[in-house]
């Protein structure tokens, strides 16, 4: 009965799936292995004991958080909109710009929520493939050509790209933004702390550009659900109109502010994870039967002869990784988050065993 009432496009809809099984080592969701640093944790406890007035709604504009982010990025607070994770901002962008049947360009493979939110919002995703034989590089000409041909309302770009790991050169991003002035170009920089490249400064040059950042990855705060966009002020005002009120809880705002102020700790963690990424890349390449794709992120994508089998064997040992089984373009690829040295060594050992 319910099924008959549901929108036709949602009936056949394939939702975002996550793993909820017991594990020893979790390397399947590009999370940080570092939980909240002790110094910050203690301040959160103090804040809680003083009474955060949880009976009151939080600041709907995340004023304080936007202020410190603005001073870091050398922009105005009004250039920034804060979302319940960057996930929410992807949804907000679709709601602001996409009407029924409008085309949205989604890289393929990339983060699944671009396509999912497009469908939920009534738009039509147009997938532009990345070339596996060229390390999943973005074909910039193809993106521009498709955006123009389809009169796309929105183009999503992800750099470094999840799940493949490679970055898009900034000059290429600028070319797309410049050559598609009637399309909103969203550059998802969820993992950019690990590539140390950003296009944020381009928001002063182009009004059709939105950059997305998150506290979920480098900042190790996936649990507080907090991300933000940077764009020209006019664009930010439109996004703010649609953003749900009170979308960031008082505690999340407080933890995000504290952690951002203690960025030195985070910077050290990022350096550690970059070193571990390079270590893992080197060691993975030594294992027979594995082809490793380049990564500038906190995760690595590689190919094995039978990804579903390797996934199953690792899972049986309590190690969670993301397998793309026989997915289009990504067939037999596995993606692992870069963990602590100890976690990475266990993974390397068990993976070699699985492939013997």
Return residues touching ligand PMP (CB under 6 A): 30, 85-87, 111, 158, 162, 188, 190, 214, 216, 222, 227
Question: What's the CA gap between 345 and 216, in Å, rounded?
Answer: 24
Q: Which residue is nearest to ligand PMP (CB)?
A: 85
3-class SS of residue 99: coil
3-class SS of residue 19: coil
Q: How far is the CB of 30 from ligand PMP (least distance, A)?
A: 6
* Pairing status of strand 333-337 against strand 209-214: unpaired
Tell me how many degrees the CA angle 154-326-29 measures, rounded to the nearest 5. 60
Contact 113, 125 (CB under 8 A): no
Quick one: 158 or 210, whose CB is closer to ligand PMP? 158
Quick one: 79 or 162, whose CB is closer to ligand PMP? 162
Q: How far is the CB of 158 from ligand PMP (least distance, A)?
A: 5
Quick one: 73 or 111, whose CB is closer to ligand PMP? 111
3-class SS of residue 262: coil
Q: How far is the CB of 129 from ligand PMP (least distance, A)?
A: 17
Quick one: 111 or 206, whose CB is closer to ligand PMP? 111
303-325 CB burial, b ≥16 within 10 A, e <16? bbebbeebbebbbebebbbbbbe
Q: How far is the CB of 273 from ligand PMP (least distance, A)?
A: 15
Quick one: 136 or 283, whose CB is closer to ligand PMP? 136
* Cα dihedral value 288, 294, 295, 300, nearest 10: -20
* Pairing status of strand 124-129 against strand 80-83: unpaired
Quick one: 185 or 354, whose CB is closer to ligand PMP? 185
Q: How far is the CB of 87 from ligand PMP (least distance, A)?
A: 3
Q: How far is CA 171 from CA 74, 178, 205, 209, in A?
A: 21, 10, 13, 14
Q: How far is the CB of 298 from ligand PMP (least distance, A)?
A: 10
């Amino acid at each position: 009965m319910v099924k008959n009432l549901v929108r036709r496009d949602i009936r056949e809809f394939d939702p975002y799936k996550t793993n909820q099984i017991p594990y020893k080592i979790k390397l399947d969701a590009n999370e940080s292995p570092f939980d909240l640093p002790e110094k910050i944790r203690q301040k959160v406890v103090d804040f809680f004991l003083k009474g955060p007035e949880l009976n009151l709604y939080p600041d709907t504009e995340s004023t304080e958080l936007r202020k410190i982010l603005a001073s870091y990025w050398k922009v105005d607070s009004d250039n920034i909109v804060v979302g319940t994770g960057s996930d929410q901002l992807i949804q907000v962008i679709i709601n602001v710009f996409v009407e029924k049947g409008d085309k949205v360009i989604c890289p393929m493979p990339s983060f699944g929520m671009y396509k999912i939110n497009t469908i939920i919002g009534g738009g039509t995703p147009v997938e532009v493939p990345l070339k596996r034989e060229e390390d999943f590089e973005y074909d910039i000409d193809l993106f521009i050509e498709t955006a123009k041909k389809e009169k796309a309302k929105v183009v999503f770009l992800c750099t470094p790209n999840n799940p493949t790991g490679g970055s898009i050169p900034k000059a290429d991003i600028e070319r797309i933004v410049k050559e598609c002035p009637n399309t909103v170009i969203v550059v998802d920089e969820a993992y950019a702390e690990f590539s140390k490249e950003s296009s944020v400064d381009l928001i002063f040059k182009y009004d059709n550009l939105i950059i997305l950042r998150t506290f979920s990855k480098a900042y190790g705060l996936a649990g507080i659900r907090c991300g933000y966009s940077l764009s020209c002020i006019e664009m930010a005002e439109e996004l703010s109109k649609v953003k749900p009120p009170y979308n960031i809880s008082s505690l999340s705002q407080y933890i995000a502010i504290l952690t951002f102020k203690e960025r030195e700790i985070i910077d050290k963690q990022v350096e550690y994870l970059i070193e571990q990424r390079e270590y893992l890349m080197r060691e993975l390449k030594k294992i027979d039967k594995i082809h490793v794709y380049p990564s500038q992120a906190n995760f690595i994508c590689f190919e094995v002869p039978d990804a579903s089998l390797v996934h199953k064997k690792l899972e049986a040992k309590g190690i969670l990784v993301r397998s793309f089984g026989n997915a289009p373009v990504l067939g037999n690829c596995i993606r692992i988050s870069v963990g602590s040295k100890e976690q990475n060594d266990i993974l390397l050992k068990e993976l070699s065993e699985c492939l013997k």
